Amino acid sequence: MDNRSNGRHFYCGAGAALLNVTVTFPVNKLMFRQQLYGISFRDAVKQLRNDGVKHLFRGVGPPLVQRTSSLSLMFGLYRKYQSQLTRRFPEMNRVLCSSLAAIGAGTTEAVLLPLERIQTLLQITKYHNQFQNMYHALVDLSSYGLKEYYRGFTAVVLRNGPSNVLFFGLRKPLKDIMPSSHSNVGDIVNDFFSGALLGAMLSTLFFPLNVVKSNMQKSLGIQFYSVWTTLWWLYEKRGRRWRNMYVGVHINYTRSFLSWGIINASYEILMKLTEKCYG
C-alpha cells in the first residue's frame, strides 16, 4: 500500500466526520447534559430550551475540528500502521496486526484531546460568560498550564484503544452477515446498518467511561483526579447503583446508531468515489 493510497483513508475519514457532526450535534449536546448532571431526557431538553436557540450550536467548532481530525487519524493511521506492521513483520498473526494498528491509531488520536476538552467547557452553562468561543477558550485555558488541556487523558486512551480494536475487528464480519446486496443503494444501506449497530454497541459498552471523562473535564483549575477516583466518586454520588451510571444511555446509543451509520456509509461512499483518483 503506497503513501497515496494511505492518504486516501485520511481524507475519507475526515469527510465522513464532517457530515456526521453537522447532522448529530444537537443530539450529542442533549446526551452530554444527561451524562454531566445525571438528569432525564426531558430535563436536558428543558435546559437547552432555557439556553436559547443561539446557544444550540455553541461548541460545534471544536467537534467539527476534533472529529474531522480524529476520524481522519483513526481510519488513516489504522491503515498506515497496519501496512507498516505487515511489511516489517510479515509472519505476524493478522488479528494481532490489526489489533496493534487499532490501538496505535486510538492512542495517537488522544493528542487531539484539547479540542474535546474545549467542547466540554463550551457546552456547560456556567462557562457561557467566561468563554466566548472556541478560540477564546483555547487561549484562556493557557493561563492554567499545558496540563489543563489534557485533563481526562487517561480516560480517553482507555476508551480509544479498545473501542478501535473492536470497531475494526468487527466491522467487516458484521457487514458480511447483512442481507446480500446487488446494487449501490443496497451496499450503502448495509454499510449504514453495520456501522450503526456496531457504533451503538460500542458506545453503550464504553458509556460509563465517557461519563467519567465528561466529569473529569468539567472542572477547571482544580486538583486532578484519576479515572478510578472519579469513577468511585460518581458511583457514590449516584446512590451506589451501577444503573445510575447509565443515565442518558438511551439517547447515547440512538445518537451513536445514527452517527456511526452515517460515518461508516459516507466513508465507504467516499472511498469508492476516490478510487479512480488513487488507482
| Whether pLDDT at 3 is above 60 | no
User: Domain 3-278 - what CATH class?
Assistant: mainly alpha
Letter for the amino acid at 220?
A: L
| Whether pLDDT at 263 is above 90 | yes
Say whether pTM exceeds 0.95. Answer: no
Terminal CA-to-CA distance of the chain, rounded, Å?
11
pLDDT of residue 11: 92
pLDDT tens digit string along 166-177? 999 999 999 999
pLDDT tens digit string along 232-255? 999 998 888 888 889 888 888 888
